[in-house]
Structure 1
């Protein structure tokens, strides 16, 4: 699988489209805005002055003697996609697909999806519209620049934990 596009759904939600080249199907995965920006930056080869979280994770793994070999999109439970990071030593780590794909793009790792998952959730190519004209490329470049500006102006307190945040340490 490869990243075909990162864009916005008709409802305004960021969506990642993974393309299965052999069957010409697309796997749409709805993701967060930050992850969409991270994948777009990595896909465009944009380097930031300081490492972003996904780059940091790759760097830490490499410093510890590990390399991300592949990302597996493993399932869909109650509308939520599941993924695993697979390292060269065989270690597997559960991850959100958006983070897993962002890591794979940065590390040059393969992305695979389970065949049963593709049968269940993939969309035929003729049902997907991917902008391929110059306007789409300009829009992507503008989004990358807007995300860069956001990062440059961000302060640590802008990223405080929200009540009910599943990543929160507070358990609220």
Structure 2
């Protein structure tokens, strides 16, 4: 599994889908490999819910994702992690891993749409993981430059581009 963060949420309206872009975290070891990104299409309401969770926006009344998190807390459970574990293009599949405390301690996996899983992950500060096979099949190279990377990342990208041939496409 690959640890990812939400890099961008591209909001759309109407029939155009919104996009959630997940970016692979920087590896702990030195590697010349570029980071990868995974784009998942979702509806505008779902994208807005994820965005509100990131912003920490509170409503006068709980929306569904807030209600679910509150319910888990009152039952002595929490969102342990979210896993995006399968893709049948263009549909992605995910699981929410719930950890229970007390006498019934353990983990339970719940099938969920990735948009719902991500909305819960941001509200509970739970880590997000993508199955390596999913990232290999549906991911792309992330060209987002870190603020501290400066020109070095662009040099690495240039070196990578120089190694490409038409057969790579």
What TM-score, normalized to structure 1? 0.69
Q: Which has the larger radius of gyration?
A: 2
Q: How many residues align?
A: 127
Match of 1:21 in 2: 25
The separation in 1 between residues aligned to 2:11 and 2:136, in whole angstroms, is 24
Moved over 4 A (4+): none
Q: Given the alignment, which residue of 54, 57, 66 partners 1:43?
A: 54
CA distance in 2: counterparts of 1:15 and 1:92, whole angstroms: 25
Which residue does 1:70 correspond to in 2? 81
1:105 pairs with 2:143: no
Q: SS state of the match for residue 70, structure 1?
A: strand
Superposed, which structure 2 residues align to 1:1-172 within 5 Å?
A: 1-8=4-11, 12-22=16-26, 24-88=35-99, 89-126=106-143
The alpha-carbon deviation at position 50 of structure 1 amounts to 1.2
Tell me the CA shift for residue 78 of structure 1: 4.0
- C-alpha deviation, 1:17, in angstroms: 0.5
Unmatched 5+ stretches in structure 2: 27-33, 100-105, 146-169
- CA deviations 1:93-149 (Å, max 9, x no partner) are 0000000000000011010000111111111013x79xxxxxxxxxxxxxxxxxxxx
TM-score of the superposition, structure 2-length normalised?
0.70
Alignment correspondent of 1:146: none
CA 1:25/1:78 → structure 2, altered by over 3 Å: closer, same or farther? closer
